[in-house]
Structure 1
Amino acid sequence: MTTKQSATITVDGGYAPAEIVLKQGIPAELTFTRVNDAGCLDQVHSPALGFNRDLPLNQPQTVTIDTSQAGEFSFSCGMDMFSGKVVVQP
């Protein structure tokens, strides 16, 4: 039985991968690492998932997300120009 899910997202002119698939009901963490200082990608936020985090260059930032509800939840940069999504599957 899996006790925790985790995903690593590289922030470099966008998000890679841009789609994260998780299982419902298993605690999850997303770790964002910004490797490029260009553009507005120095923040990541998701009102739907309840986080807003600054992304210092080359410093991994981990957020814990709630996976109790199935669905698709977006995240984006501070200016909402670049986005990705978390898909929580039942």
Structure 2
Amino acid sequence: MALDQIIVLIAGLSLSTWVAWYFWFSEKKVVKVASGLGGTQEAIIKVKGGYSPDVLEFETGKPIKLNFIREETAACSEEVVFSDFNKKATLTPFKTVSVELEIDKPGEYGFQCGMGMLKGKLIVR
């Protein structure tokens, strides 16, 4: 095997390893949401090719208000679905849409776009 082939092989394996680590094994940054006035835990989630932040932590038993700001017109991000609570909301492009939840049980609850391509998680402790 020639030297240039070995270099390309090593570079390709290194890149593949980095991609696997980044998408599957790197730790997601969890955003802890504090209570505001009236005890409501309020978070802003930007929607553009995904949810940012996509993992949020809340306290059990306090009202939750999620403010989604959709910064795109892609069809996938038109809707956010909370299947654990049988709740969904239509997200208007370049506007803020609020979703209010009351979660009384600790656990991890997923949310996603209507197509299931964009995903996020609510951690309730």
Common fold by TM > 0.5:
yes
Q: Residue 72 of structure 1 aligns to which amino acid in structure 2?
A: E
Q: Which runs of 4+ in 1 moved over 3 A?
A: none
In the alignment, structure 1 residue 38 sits paired with structure 2 residue 74 = yes
Note if contact 1:43-1:53 (Cα within 8 Å) is conserved in structure 2: yes
Structure having the higher Rg: 2
Note if contact 1:2-1:26 (Cα within 8 Å) is conserved in structure 2: no
Paired residues for 1:1-90 under 5 Å: 3-89=39-125
* Structure with the bigger percentage of strand: 1
Alpha-carbon distance between aligned partners in 1 of 2:66 and 2:86, rounded to the nearest angstrom: 13
TM-score, normalised relative to structure 2: 0.67
* Structure with the bigger percentage of helix: 2
Q: Aligned pair count? A: 89
Identity of aligned residues (%): 31
Alpha-carbon distance between aligned partners in 1 of 2:80 and 2:70, rounded to the nearest angstrom: 10
Higher RCO structure (Cα 8 Å, ≥6 apart): 1
TM-align CA RMSD = 1.5
Q: Residue 120 of structure 2 aligns to which amino acid in structure 1?
A: G
Give 5+ residue unaligned stretches, structure 2.
1-36
